[in-house]
Structure 1
Amino acid sequence: MTSSQPTILAVFAHPDDEAFSVGGTLAHYAQKGVKVVLACATRGEAGKITDPSMTIADLGKHREAELKRATAALGLPDPVFLDYHDSGRYERTRYDDSLALMNVNPFAAELKIRELIAEVKPDIMITFDPHGGYGHIDHLVIHRAAAAAFFSTGNVEGGGPQRLYFTALSVEAAEGLSRMGQDLDPNIYGVSENTIAVKMDVSQQAERKKAALVAHGSQTGPNSRMGQMSEEERQTMERRMLGTEGFAIGGTRTGLPAFPLRGLFDGLTGFEGVDN
Structure 2
Amino acid sequence: MQASLLAVLAHPDDEALRCGGTLARAAAQGADVTLICLTRGEVGRNTDPTLTVTDMGAQREQELQEACAHLGIHPPVFLGYHDSGRGDRLRQGDPLASINADPLDIEARILEVIRRVTPQVMLTFDPHGMYGHPDHLVAHRAATAAFSRAGNHGVPVQRLYYAAQTHEEMRRLQSEQRGAGLGVLNGLNPDIYAVSPCTVAACIDVRAHAAQKLAALRAHRSQTGPLSTLGTLSSAQLQPLLEQETFSLGGLRSPLPDYPVSDLFSGLNVRFHSISAGAP
1:113-143, CA deviations, whole angstroms, 9 ceiling, x for partnerless residues?
1111111111100000001111100000110
- Structure 1 alignment gaps of length 5 or more: none
1:189 counterpart residue number: 193
1:97-123, CA deviations, whole angstroms, 9 ceiling, x for partnerless residues?
111111112111111111111111111
Q: 1:214 to 1:273 in 2, by over 3 A?
A: closer
Contact residue 221 and residue 227 of structure 1 kept, 8 A: yes
State the distance in 2 between where 1:271 and 1:14 align. 30
Matched residue SS, 1:67: helix
Out of 29, 33, 36, the residue aligned to residue 30 of structure 2 is 33
Out of 61, 70, 75, the residue aligned to residue 58 of structure 2 is 61
1:11-60, CA deviations, whole angstroms, 9 ceiling, x for partnerless residues?
10000000011100110110111000011010000111111222211100
Following superposition, the deviation at residue 272 of structure 1 comes to 9.9
- Structure 2 alignment gaps of length 5 or more: 176-180, 275-280
1:24 counterpart residue number: 21
2:250 counterpart residue number: 250
The answer on 1:203 being equivalent to 2:232 is no
Contact residue 46 and residue 88 of structure 1 kept, 8 A: yes
Tell me the number of residue pairs that the alignment of Structure 1 and Structure 2 aligns. 266
Give the AA of the match of 2:8: V
2:277 counterpart residue number: none
- Judge which range, 204-213 or 104-113, deviates more: 104-113
Give the AA of the match of 1:192: S
TM norm structure 2? 0.91
Contact residue 205 and residue 262 of structure 2 kept, 8 A: no
State the distance in 2 between where 1:72 and 1:272 align. 19
Following superposition, the deviation at residue 154 of structure 1 comes to 1.8
Give the AA of the match of 1:164: L
Contact residue 5 and residue 33 of structure 2 kept, 8 A: yes
1:175 counterpart residue number: 171
1:218 counterpart residue number: 222
State the distance in 2 between where 1:77 and 1:269 align. 22
State the distance in 1 between where 2:269 and 2:230 align. 41
State the distance in 1 between where 2:12 and 2:78 align. 10
Following superposition, the deviation at residue 160 of structure 1 comes to 2.2
1:140 counterpart residue number: 137
Matched residue SS, 1:78: coil
2:116 counterpart residue number: 119
Q: Which structure has the higher relative contact order (CA within 8 Å, separation 6+)? A: 2
- RMSD, aligned CA: 1.7
Following superposition, the deviation at residue 271 of structure 1 comes to 5.0
Matched residue SS, 1:22: helix
TM norm structure 1? 0.92
Q: Which runs of 4+ in 1 moved over 3 A?
A: 270-274
Contact residue 15 and residue 40 of structure 1 kept, 8 A: yes
State the distance in 1 between where 2:256 and 2:216 align. 32
1:237-263, CA deviations, whole angstroms, 9 ceiling, x for partnerless residues?
222210100011100100222212131
Following superposition, the deviation at residue 92 of structure 1 comes to 2.3
Matched residue SS, 1:238: helix
1:78 counterpart residue number: 75
Following superposition, the deviation at residue 191 of structure 1 comes to 0.5
Give the AA of the match of 1:185: N
